[in-house]
Structure 1
Amino acid sequence: MQIPEHFTELSIRMSVALDDSGAGKETVLERKKTYLRREQIEHIFLQHLGKDEECFHFGSQSEGTTTPGLQSDIDLLSSYKEMNIMTVWEDWKAGMANLLMLRDDTTPPQQYLLQVFLEDTPEPVTNLTHDTFVRKDSGQILFSAERFKQYQEYMGRFLGEATTNGPSVSFVPNWDMVQACHVLKPLHEIQHWIDRCRGRPWPSVQLLEAARVAPCFLVPAGHPDSDYKREEWRLSPNLIERMLMFSFNITQIKCYILFKLIKKSVFAKIVGESITSFHCKTIMFYTIERTHPSMWCEHNLMFLLLLCLHVLKRWLRLRRLPHYIIEGVNLFDGKLSKSHQKRLLVYIELLIRNNLQDVFYIGIDNIGCRLQACSMRHFVQAGEFRGVCLRNSIRLLLKFECWIRLSSSLVHLQHHQCSSHTTLQQHLKYAIYKFHENSTNVILKSAAIEFIKHFYALHISMQASYYLRLRNVLDSENIKRFQYSLNMDVASSRLKFASMLYCGGHLRAAVRVLENVEGSYHSNVKTICGCRRAQGDSDLQVFANMLSGNTENGFSELPFTFCVQLLRQESYCTPFILLFEMNRNISEDEVAQRSRPEKRWMDSAKVDSRPFLHYLQYLTYGGLGERGNQLYALRFLESYICDKRNMIHMYHAETSLNLLGHCYEMEGNYEDALHYYEQSLRFYDTNNAANWHVRRVLRIISG
């Protein structure tokens, strides 16, 4: 095929435009790394909850094949390991839920029925003992995919309204969440594909060997034309597809992203959402398989896209798009109607004849505008700063979202341990030991170390609280041990340390720690909360503002701080007023109003780091008799809380207002104290310690 003369320059310009849109090599690698880290956090989290379950982030986020304009969903697949999927009845295992994969000549390719077997003997179940079971005409008891999804909706009803999409049942906007079953046994479908691919440059021999032992998944989705579509489960080789995607070089990734940009901006006007990212991915697989590896370089980008369109045109003419791995599956079935296939074919033929001129009209990520710059030099100069800023903003956002997952996991695990029958101190020691075991695993090491640091800091803080309860003096050994955990973030760990020092009577030492925190707490620090989310706090513009003319590499440490959480077991390391936060309800009716996530943290004190910093300064300077510094801390606390621009950094505004109100209460200014407590109640009128504070101040005023 003849390469059009202008394609080389257009390819370079398109590659630069994609770089500046968040599809450069560094950003792609950052996305991959972040979502694999999130998988590690999820794995350790579930392990410590005692769940034999594994989670995977599949799709464009973990592949790094998206841009902000594509607005890709987050795909999460959870696999139940306690279900033993059998290919023959000899695979049966005692003490597990056993499900036998069934199919016959009438079953569509890629689809299976799951027959239920007993746990104590290798015999089929004969009665409908669970809501997810149905009886087939033959009398066999099947595990129904549709009923399983309905069961998920029922079990997650406290999380809100569920959104179902194919096999996904999600309670989180912009997430596709799939509950699946592991298939660990060799499957003839996979072996057939491996045999077909042998001897080709791609996939490599090493990839095929890894694919041979990789587990597949059964997801709850039937074929649209099947008589048993409500009962059927679809075989999904997600891990193998991920291996294929991870083998892509940067040009292949950019080609795939560009293909998706065309799909979303142009194809969608013709056939709506009928063409999916998975269709584009499959086309990419076939194109790479049939193209010499030396062709996949930056200056050929537009020609390679042209090859992808030729592959799609061929399959549209044949009215079938075969699944790349599983034979016999037509990916157009149930997605792209025959009339839509004809319309899309006409357009693609026109697009090819016009040498892809329609790429100049891609509005997503301003790709078209970037390409239409007057000259290459002007284009780079005009887009360079925006591109660097965007790339670094994306990287900060990815780290922020990853730390949020870590923070929410910590909140959940701490609540789980507090609820256990063992004492929290014993449970913490065991948890740290288990985290240490995970740290010897190369894959889980970095996530395990993060958990260890947080749990060790909690362990030391609880020990210090115990010493203070016994009216012992904190010695240098207690203080030294806490210092190992001071650099987890910009502020929260050091603020807990300062709180411990203040409560232990080491006011000068507390002041030094607080001065250190204030010196590193610049205006671009972003708060991370594992309990609440603020509207717009994941907006890319927020992270662009954080950069403020700097790059992320200009920060001496990541500009994030967790909220400060103090458990009841840390009461003697906690300023008195925050003890009310641990008992924020007036009545049991208020406790009943708490959502399930709120129940995980509302028995502890949670406070935003910046307000807590200035509140501790007010207390320590007051204790030292430094009135000028004390009033300065109060003014700073008030101006920070009352500045609406800071609301995006405040997740516990009601608690911050309670701290400010208490400062005025200590000042003897009961009118202002009451004002701020009432402001706090405007945020949350129940489960708010301000109810206690208002009563106390009114009693003082009334004498």
Structure 2
Amino acid sequence: MSQDPDYYWIVSLKLSEVLNDIGVDERMILKRRRMALLRETMQTCNHRLQGGNNSFYNFGSQSEGSTTIGLYSDTDLLFCLCEYNVIQDWGEWQPGRPNLLMIQDETTSPGYCLLQWLRPDEPLPVPTDLFNHETDRVSRGKVLLKNTCYRDAVAGSVINGPAASRQGRPGLVDQDIVSAFHCKSWPAEAQPWLLQQGIGRWPTEDMKRYCETTGCFVVAVSSKNGQNEELEWRISTSHAERCLMFNLNITQLRCYILMKMILKTFINPQCDGVLSSFMCKTVLFHCIQNKHSNNWMQSNLLPCLMCCLTVLQNFVRQENCPHFVIPENNLMSGRISPHNKLRILEILQKIIQSKGRALLEIPIDDFGPRLTVTMNMDETFQYYQTPAQMYAHISTSMLLNTANTVIFCHMDFLGNMYHDGNAIVHENVSNFMLTLTKMYKEVGFSSLEKSALKFLAPLRSSSLGSVIASHDIYTTHSISPEALGWFSAGLNSDVASGRLKLASALYCVGDMERAELVLRNTGEKYDLNTVESVCNCYEHPMYYLRPGFMHKCNTGNEEMVQHTTALCVRFLPCEIGCVPKELQYEMFRSTQEDRLERNECFDTWMDCAVVDCLPYLYFLQYKTYRALQRVADQQCALTNLVTTIDSEQNLGHRETALNLLGQCMEQENRHIDVLHCYIMSLNIRARNNAANFLICRLLNEIVN
């Protein structure tokens, strides 16, 4: 078939068709990029609203849209410590700030630098007798910052080289979190790149001008062959590279994805993973720069891929993959052993000579079998997932990551207030909302910042309403208009959590009629076919996702968080006045011995009362209907609570739901069922569980 003059044209179109079927098309790429940019903007805004000055960036395949489900690409989260002024020229020194001068000399590898401390009061080096033994080192009469000092800036993660890795749950992505400093000026080593022009006339002059404005980052990692392992910092142009990736056409992105599939299928499993996707990206950049732009068409995808593989082969042969922006930085330096070099060259040669047939062996996303069917070589293969299912899967993963970012930002905001009193929390949350409102008015009408702030505001509003209402209930046995106003502003954070906090407060103040109305409205909005419970308190699997939920995710963008997710209902200790007594026990779940079993960073939620929306909805309905003496409705709510605990697979706090059910059963005088509930709860979480107290209380009542 390869003798057919139209062979490359036909195969290229078939490759494009299969890639389109697995989610590599313009719409999905733009959706991936928007979601990633929104998540990083939310994290940055959340940090800035709390008085910080740092920034978050989601770099890598997820934010570029250059991935598929089966590639399992992680998220590269860069945490930029903006309080430091990193400079390349003494004229950039700023008074009153910690200044660091980038130094490159004969001891530093290309693309790397040293960071020298400068005085904050005048543009002079810090004297060698004034240095911190833990974070600094004196070398050649200079006080230099070690690259080990900020590697663990993101607490609670597993340190992996310069990055801190955080494992994602099934359906979500892993994160590599790296700390860095930002330098506003373009790297001196990269100045020649701004003047280069290849035959592809890419990057354009406009792109280069923009890249120059992004400056660079310095990341805490040394080169493989550097002389200063403890002192070298890598110069990163990730922002500029994002600009280049965002300006690729669909064929160029598909070519890059095919290279990564080839790398993952044929090369890295046999060659110790010595080649990286960043090398593939660099190869692609060089090829685009040196090929005429009209070559990069869908009907020419296979020749473009062969060209990239040939360039990669040449780089491996020379053991030199020049960084696209800083060519003196050899990305392959010291990475490839002689044995692996020969093996890689052999594999690449076979793939190139196969004229595309090797792609039939790629198992990722059933790519090979899909291509086989598309080429009419085998019509018996049944896809594991149809294209529609693939698109729904991708959209669902992105929406869940967005929802989890919303929760993470809220938990981060509340993190320092778990043990504060009501008045302090009231002041802190009020100040936060004032700052948020001011920021919202200042940002552009259609900016990502505006969208991010719309996600951050409702959960804070509900918390503020609940804090005020708790104080109101304690002092005046009522709920003030101010509290109700904030509750109202927080209703649309998601399908149910804001409404349930309002209903909870109304129940606790004894306003059963209005509580019942809010609960009925919440039940109507909670479509059991399309709404999923989302919890980010701890790592737990999501076993099954409703088809209706996945369909909704695929039809919309980030706004679906408000219409298809039910986030945890969370009460701080200072909100205890808005918490029914049955749920208050959750705030006191941990004994001193239990606390020894807790993770200091990730288990702080255990000092709150946290419950999934759906079981809490039915629990509150049970209690409200009981107070209203509506027996039939009360029993219906109890049945729904039992059914939810038994059938809802993605509850994050099933043990809490069982504790609430057990206390309902106590009120029904069904003591055997009560005991069963508490035992089931303890089977889920033996430590840090209020059931340990509740079961003792139950046994005491039975005995006495």
Identify whether the pair has TM-score above 0.5, normalized to the shorter chain.
yes
Structure 2 residue matching 1:329: 3-state secondary structure: coil
Per the alignment, residue 183 of structure 1 pairs with: 183
Deviates more, 1:673-682 or 1:552-561: 552-561
Q: CA deviation at 1:516?
A: 2.8
Q: CA deviation at 1:456?
A: 1.6
Change (3 A) 1:377 1:364: closer
CA contact (8 A) 1:435 1:449 kept: no
Per the alignment, residue 263 of structure 2 pairs with: 263
Q: Pairwise mapping of residues 128-139 of structure 1 onto structure 2 (< 5 A)? A: 128-136=131-139, 138-139=140-141
CA contact (8 A) 1:397 1:543 kept: no
Between the aligned partners of 1:316 and 1:579, the Cα distance in structure 2 is 63
Change (3 A) 1:558 1:302: farther
Change (3 A) 1:484 1:104: closer
Per the alignment, residue 501 of structure 1 pairs with: 506
Structure 2 residue matching 1:218: 3-state secondary structure: strand
- Give 1:141's match in structure 2, choosing from 118, 140, 143: 143
- Give 2:160's match in structure 1, choosing from 156, 161, 164: 164
Measured against aligned partners, the alpha-carbon deviations of 1:256-292 in whole angstroms (never above 9, x if no partner) come to 1011111111222553311110110011101111222
Change (3 A) 1:401 1:360: same
C-alpha RMSD of matched pairs (Å): 2.9
CA contact (8 A) 1:9 1:299 kept: yes
Q: CA deviation at 1:697?
A: 2.1
CA contact (8 A) 2:461 2:486 kept: no
Q: CA deviation at 1:171?
A: 5.1
Change (3 A) 1:219 1:385: closer
Q: CA deviation at 1:461?
A: 2.7
Structure 2 residue matching 1:423: 3-state secondary structure: helix
- Give 1:532's match in structure 2, choosing from 525, 535, 538: 538
Per the alignment, residue 622 of structure 2 pairs with: 618
Alignment-mate amino acid for residue 45 of structure 2: I
Between the aligned partners of 1:408 and 1:478, the Cα distance in structure 2 is 24
Alignment-mate amino acid for residue 569 of structure 2: V
Deviates more, 1:518-527 or 1:351-360: 518-527
Measured against aligned partners, the alpha-carbon deviations of 1:647-698 in whole angstroms (never above 9, x if no partner) come to x421112211110011011112233223322332333343322233223323
CA contact (8 A) 1:533 1:651 kept: no
Measured against aligned partners, the alpha-carbon deviations of 1:624-663 in whole angstroms (never above 9, x if no partner) come to 21212211221221232134xx2x4211122111100110
Q: Does the alignment pair 1:469 with 2:474?
A: yes
Q: Does the alignment pair 1:640 with 2:644?
A: yes
CA contact (8 A) 2:77 2:177 kept: yes
CA contact (8 A) 2:418 2:573 kept: no
Between the aligned partners of 1:63 and 1:563, the Cα distance in structure 2 is 31
Per the alignment, residue 322 of structure 2 pairs with: 322
Structure 2 residue matching 1:470: 3-state secondary structure: helix
Q: Pairwise mapping of residues 15-414 of structure 1 onto structure 2 (< 5 A)? A: 15-121=16-122, 122-127=124-129, 128-136=131-139, 138-145=140-147, 147-148=148-149, 152-153=151-152, 159=156, 162-165=158-161, 167-170=162-165, 172=167, 174-197=174-197, 201-373=201-373, 386-414=386-414
Between the aligned partners of 1:271 and 1:62, the Cα distance in structure 2 is 28
TM-score, normalization: structure 2? 0.90
Q: Which runs of 5+ in 1 are unaligned?
A: none
CA contact (8 A) 1:408 1:529 kept: no
Q: Which runs of 5+ in 2 are unaligned?
A: 169-173
- Give percent identity, aligned residues only: 30
Change (3 A) 1:471 1:254: same
CA contact (8 A) 2:255 2:304 kept: yes
Between the aligned partners of 2:330 and 2:487, the Cα distance in structure 1 is 60
Per the alignment, residue 601 of structure 2 pairs with: 597
Change (3 A) 1:671 1:547: closer
Change (3 A) 1:597 1:653: farther
Between the aligned partners of 2:470 and 2:70, the Cα distance in structure 1 is 49
Alignment-mate amino acid for residue 274 of structure 2: S
Measured against aligned partners, the alpha-carbon deviations of 1:579-612 in whole angstroms (never above 9, x if no partner) come to 2222223x44444543223553223210111111
- Give 1:570's match in structure 2, choosing from 564, 567, 575: 575
Between the aligned partners of 1:237 and 1:559, the Cα distance in structure 2 is 38
TM-score, normalization: structure 1? 0.90
Change (3 A) 1:3 1:148: farther
Between the aligned partners of 2:408 and 2:269, the Cα distance in structure 1 is 40
Between the aligned partners of 2:535 and 2:127, the Cα distance in structure 1 is 47
Alignment-mate amino acid for residue 260 of structure 2: K
Alignment size in residue pairs: 686
Q: CA deviation at 1:336?
A: 2.5
Between the aligned partners of 1:677 and 1:355, the Cα distance in structure 2 is 64
Q: CA deviation at 1:365?
A: 1.1
Q: CA deviation at 1:106?
A: 4.3
Alignment-mate amino acid for residue 610 of structure 1: L
CA contact (8 A) 2:50 2:432 kept: no
CA contact (8 A) 1:322 1:330 kept: yes
CA contact (8 A) 2:200 2:292 kept: no
Per the alignment, residue 454 of structure 1 pairs with: 459
Per the alignment, residue 702 of structure 2 pairs with: 701
Between the aligned partners of 1:700 and 1:131, the Cα distance in structure 2 is 58
Between the aligned partners of 1:556 and 1:596, the Cα distance in structure 2 is 29
Deviates more, 1:379-388 or 1:325-334: 379-388
Between the aligned partners of 2:292 and 2:466, the Cα distance in structure 1 is 60
Structure 2 residue matching 1:352: 3-state secondary structure: helix
Measured against aligned partners, the alpha-carbon deviations of 1:398-420 in whole angstroms (never above 9, x if no partner) come to 11112112102202212324556
Structure 2 residue matching 1:69: 3-state secondary structure: coil
